[in-house]
């Protein structure tokens, strides 16, 4: 790894500017899912344990470069204190006199949360002046927001050029997991890509056929591939304009010895709604007036067989319309198979992306996966093979 961890930094007595992602959902002032806050705990605790002073930098929502009262990070202080088990002070700005006074007053054992970085226009422009003002508040930069690492902002990228820098525990865990899945994986490697559309995951599919031994394609995007093979898909969600692209991906895969696994049987219904009357048909026999909403049991058996022979799995996107029962069946069954292989030590399994995390949580499989990334866009860009500016900056 070309980046440093907290263990390689001298933190005693140091002000540690720590970029975290605590962009949690809030409804009526209450945090409805504190996962992102829970995930920064190891980093903050380790900084405190090493005698450092954690100063948290974070964004919240999209205020567009101006102060928006209901996007103040102050509302997260009680949840942070509870999660961290330490007093959390708050500064009403992330730079300038208010921030400086709060930093100066910070005592050992306390944590300081600075106000929403995106209240400043310069943040999302990686403005050097704003970066310099932030840098003046710390001695060390700890980057722990992998989920924001695909953006070159002052607090994700800029600071790394001005201060001695390292990855926090969450960043370290994300990068290690991703590296083990696609960087230098144990083979055979399988990727599962599902979800609605080919168009949003084109680069991802294209990169994966270069890296994996088997690519399982499911969900709505599989319909476009089935159509590309000349199979009828009825009223299914599909992108007719992407048929040539789908053919191109299949041709590329063939040339690279990557096997593409498409559904062999499909569950079809006449309406996109929970418990709609449905039937299972071979993948080339979707009735004209029906839509494909899930992969069938034969498809799941084929996926299971691939998992059985795989040593590494990377997963993004559901295999069907998982939000409406019973069209979550293939996603759940395949996820549980992957979880069981992981639990027995036979598979390294990494999954990520918003819907994927929800689907794997719903199936109960998530807890046995080797790693579940909570980063949405950054995880996808990484799967696409892109260099993330926030990671590159740590390596520089
Ligand atoms: P994505 O955000 O691209 O991962 O797509 C996830 C969405 O794709 C979920 O909302 C699923 O309900 C939807 N989806 C998956 N399979 C199908 C399908 N066969 N027909 C319609 N929607 C689907």
Q: Is the pLDDT of residue 354 over 80?
A: no
E-strand ranges in the chain read: 15-19, 26-27, 30-31, 53-57, 88-91, 111-114, 140-143, 165-167, 189-193, 214-217, 259-261, 265-269, 278-282, 291-295, 312-316, 348-352, 371-373
Q: Is the pLDDT of residue 273 over 70?
A: yes
- The reported pLDDT for the residue numbered 182 is 86
Integer angstrom CA distances of residue 91 from 13, 72, 309: 20, 11, 53
Residue 276: exposure state from Cβ atoms within 10 A (0-12, 13-18, ≥19): middle
Q: CA 129, CA 138: separation in Å to the nearest integer?
A: 15
- The reported pLDDT for the residue numbered 127 is 98
Q: Is the pLDDT of residue 355 over 90?
A: no
Q: Counting atoms of ligand 1 from 1, which one is nearest the CA of 321?
A: 12
Kindly list the structural domains of the chain, giving each domain's residue range(s) and its CATH number in brackets, ordered by start. Answer: 6-173+389-395 (3.40.50.1260), 185-364 (3.40.50.1260)
Whole-number average pLDDT of the chain: 96
Of 263, 272, 197, nearest to 231 by C-alpha is: 263
Q: How far is the CA of 355 from the centre of ligand 1 (A)?
A: 9
Q: CA 361, CA 353: separation in Å to the nearest integer?
A: 12
Q: Is 199 in the pocket of ligand 1 (CB under 6 A)?
A: no
Of 57, 59, 34, nearest to 44 by C-alpha is: 57
> Quick one: how far is CA 46 from the chain centroid?
23
pLDDT, one tens digit per residue, over 148-187 is: 999 999 999 999 999 999 999 999 999 999 988 888 899 9
Pocket test for ligand 1, best of 267, 318, 377 (most atoms within 8 A of CB): 318
pLDDT, one tens digit per residue, over 214-245 is: 999 999 999 999 999 999 999 999 999 999 99
Q: CA 149, CA 110: separation in Å to the nearest integer?
A: 26
Q: How far is the CA of 318 from the centre of ligand 1 (A)?
A: 7
Q: CA 117, CA 55: separation in Å to the nearest integer?
A: 13
The SS3 of residue 51 is coil
pLDDT band at 29 (very low <50, low <70, confident <90, very high): confident
Q: Is 352 in the pocket of ligand 1 (CB under 6 A)?
A: no
The single residue listed with the structure tokens 């209901």 is 70
Q: How far is the CA of 396 from the centre of ligand 1 (A)?
A: 38
Do the Cβ atoms of 393 and 135 come closer than 8 Å? no
Pocket test for ligand 1, best of 315, 321, 360 (most atoms within 8 A of CB): 321
For 166-291, where are the alpha helices, taking DSSP H only?
A: 169-178, 202-211, 219-228, 243-255
Q: How far is the CA of 328 from the centre of ligand 1 (A)?
A: 10
- The reported pLDDT for the residue numbered 1 is 65
Count other Cβ atoms within 10 Å, centred on residue 378.
26
Structure tokens at 145: 């927001």
Q: How far is the CA of 317 from the centre of ligand 1 (A)?
A: 8
Q: Is 242 in the pocket of ligand 1 (CB under 6 A)?
A: no
Q: Is 318 in the pocket of ligand 1 (CB under 6 A)?
A: yes
Count other Cβ atoms within 10 Å, centred on residue 160.
24
The arrangement of strands across the sheet holding 214-217 comes to 259-261, 214-217, 189-193, 312-316, 348-352, 371-373
Q: Is 38 in the pocket of ligand 1 (CB under 6 A)?
A: no
* Residues catalogued as catalytic: 36, 197, 354, 377
Strand 348-352 to 214-217 pairing: unpaired
Q: CA 80, CA 73: separation in Å to the nearest integer?
A: 10
Q: Is the pLDDT of residue 69 over 90?
A: yes
Looking at the chain, the whole-number percentage of residues with pLDDT higher than 90 is: 90
Q: Is 263 in the pocket of ligand 1 (CB under 6 A)?
A: no
pLDDT, one tens digit per residue, over 277-292 is: 999 999 999 999 999 9
Q: Bridge partners of 269? A: 278, 291
């Amino acid at each position: 790894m070309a980046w440093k961890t907290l263990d390689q930094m001298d933190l005693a007595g140091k002000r540690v500017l720590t970029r975290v992602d605590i962009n949690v959902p809030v409804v009526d002032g209450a945090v409805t899912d504190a996962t992102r806050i829970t995930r920064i705990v190891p980093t903050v605790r380790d900084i405190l344990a090493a005698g450092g002073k954690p100063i948290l930098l974070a964004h919240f929502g999209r205020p567009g470069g101006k102060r928006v009262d209901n996007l103040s990070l102050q509302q997260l202080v009680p949840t942070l204190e509870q999660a961290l088990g330490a007093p959390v002070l708050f500064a009403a700005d992330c730079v300038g006199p208010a921030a400086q006074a709060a930093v100066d007053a910070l005592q050992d054992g306390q944590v300081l949360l600075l106000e929403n970085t995106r209240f400043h226009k310069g943040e999302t422009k990686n403005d050097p002046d704003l970066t310099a003002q932030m840098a003046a508040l710390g001695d060390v930069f700890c980057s722990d927001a992998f989920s924001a690492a695909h953006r070159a902002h002052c607090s994700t990228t800029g600071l790394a050029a001005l201060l001695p820098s390292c990855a926090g525990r969450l960043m370290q865990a994300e990068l290690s997991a991703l590296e083990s899945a696609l960087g230098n994986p144990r083979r055979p490697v399988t990727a599962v890509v599902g979800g609605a559309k080919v168009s949003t995951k084109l680069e991802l599919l294209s990169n994966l056929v270069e890296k994996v031994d088997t690519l399982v394609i499911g969900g709505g995007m599989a319909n476009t591939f089935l159509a590309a093979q000349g199979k009828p898909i009825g009223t299914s969600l599909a992108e007719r304009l992407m048929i040539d692209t789908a053919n191109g991906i299949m041709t590329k895969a063939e040339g690279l010895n990557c096997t593409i696994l498409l559904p062999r049987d499909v569950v079809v219904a006449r309406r996109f709604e929970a418990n709609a009357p449905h039937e299972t048909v071979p993948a080339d026999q979707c009735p004209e007036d029906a839509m494909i909403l899930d992969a069938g049991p034969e498809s799941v058996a084929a996926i299971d067989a691939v998992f059985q022979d795989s040593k590494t799995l990377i997963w993004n996107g559901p295999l069907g319309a998982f939000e409406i029962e019973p069209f979550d069946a293939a996603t759940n069954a395949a996820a549980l198979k992957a979880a069981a292989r992981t639990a027995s030590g036979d598979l390294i399994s990494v999954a990520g992306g918003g819907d994927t995390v929800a689907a794997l949580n719903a199936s109960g499989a998530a807890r046995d996966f080797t790693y579940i990334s909570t980063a949405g866009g950054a995880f996808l860009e990484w799967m696409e093979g892109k260099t993330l500016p926030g990671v590159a900056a740590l390596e520089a």
